[in-house]
Amino acid sequence: PIIKDLFGLTELEIRLARVLRLKKAVVVQGDSDQSDWVKKEMGRAGVRLLKQTARPGQVVAVAGGTTVAAVAEMMKASPALRESIFIPARGGLGEEVELEANYITSLMAQKAGGRYRLMHVPEQLSHEAYDTLIREPHIQEVLELVRSARIVVHGIGDATTMATRRKSSPELLRLLQEKGAVGEAFGYYFNRKGEIVYRGRSLGLSLEDLENVEMTIAVAGGAGKAEAIAAVCPVSGRDTLITDEAAARAILKQH
Ligand code: F6P
């Protein structure tokens, strides 16, 4: 805490939480766009928070992306986490395996010493496939577990970066641009006002389900994500945002 105050980070946390209407903001030093260790620090902060708040028997839903992966990499076992069930927040979103929620969930669960269940569903399903899959008993079971999540750990991405990373069609990229999409989380794309402008067809936690979640932890940093975080957070990250100094300062400059 002394070091934090030295850099004015506590003050940043308070202002950021107020501006983004969050219960709590955690700001780590640096810019994760510039250096990888900053992402690791965000991961460490995520682990600290998870350890502090974990309760035996809880379900933790985990999203994909490199920042949530940093939380998984830094994860350490604790008694309550050992009795937690980790589950991917959503099925595939069309990314590299290492960035998929399934993979990151299993990594986090293993490091935490907890159990996990996976959701083996591909991204961008057709209407028919979606309707069939959603009726599968195995899928139903996992979906129910996801909806019973007490904690959700998720990332936030810049809309164009995410659409490109998922190899979206030129049509979708154009649509997102036309609709002014700036941020992405859980497969939803948001405009500057935090309105949903596009939603892919994939299985898992929906924004409505977040209402029943006790605690959402968003982990996202880097000055390049400032706009995305500011758009998504008031909608999805009602609780806690773990970010870095560069993103925090850029967000506060805009508000
Ligand atoms: O694709 C999963 C996801 O959590 C997205 O919802 C989010 O936009 C993205 O990953 C963040 O990824 P990264 O932390 O690598 O920027």
Q: Is the pLDDT of residue 246 over 60?
A: yes
Taking all residues of the chain, what is their mean pLDDT, rounded to a whole number?
A: 92
pLDDT tens digits, one per residue of 135-175: 889 889 999 999 999 999 999 999 999 999 988 999 999 99
Best mutation site among 39, 73, 90, 99 for ligand 1, i.e. most ligand atoms within 8 A of its Cβ? 99
Q: Is residue 20 classed as helix, strand or coil in its secondary structure?
A: coil
Angle formed by the axes of helices 66-74 and 36-53, to 10°?
60
pLDDT of res. 220: 98
More confident residue, 124 or 130: 130
Output b/e per residue, 76-97; b: 16+ Cβ within 10 A: eebebbebbbbbbbbbbbbbee
Minimum CA distance residue for ligand 1 atom 16: 157
pLDDT of res. 252: 97
Q: Answer left, alpha or beta for residue 221, where phi above 0 means left and psi between -120 and 50 means alpha.
A: beta
Q: Is the pLDDT of residue 237 over 60?
A: no
Q: Is residue 221 classed as helix, strand or coil in its secondary structure?
A: coil
pLDDT of res. 1: 58
pLDDT tens digits, one per residue of 24-77: 999 999 999 999 999 999 999 999 999 999 999 999 999 999 999 999 999 999
Dihedral of CA atoms 144, 146, 148, 153 in degrees, nearest 10, equals: 180
More confident residue, 134 or 243: 243
Q: Is the pLDDT of residue 114 over 60?
A: yes
Residue % of the chain over a pLDDT of 70: 95
Q: Is the pLDDT of residue 235 over 90?
A: no
pLDDT of res. 214: 94
Q: Tell me the C-alpha distance between 9 and 28, whole Å.
A: 7
pLDDT of res. 19: 94
Q: Tell me the C-alpha distance between 34 and 195, whole Å.
A: 30
Number of neighbouring beta carbons within 10 Å of residue 55: 12
pLDDT of res. 97: 85
Minimum CA distance residue for ligand 1 atom 5: 185
From the CA of 162, give the closest atom in ligand 1.
8
Q: Is the pLDDT of residue 4 over 90?
A: no
DSSP 204: B
More confident residue, 121 or 249: 249
Alpha carbon distance, N-terminus to C-terminus of the chain: 26
| pLDDT classification of 203: cutoffs 50, 70, 90 | confident
Best mutation site among 36, 40, 66 for ligand 1, i.e. most ligand atoms within 8 A of its Cβ? 66
Backbone dihedral angles phi then psi of residue 57, each to the nearest 5 degrees: 85, -5
pLDDT of res. 48: 97
From the CA of 67, give the closest atom in ligand 1.
14
Cβ atoms of 228 and 246 within 8 Å: the answer is no
Write the burial class of residue 143 (CB in 10 Å: 0-12 exposed, 13-18 middle, 19+ buried).
buried
Q: Is the pLDDT of residue 118 over 80?
A: yes
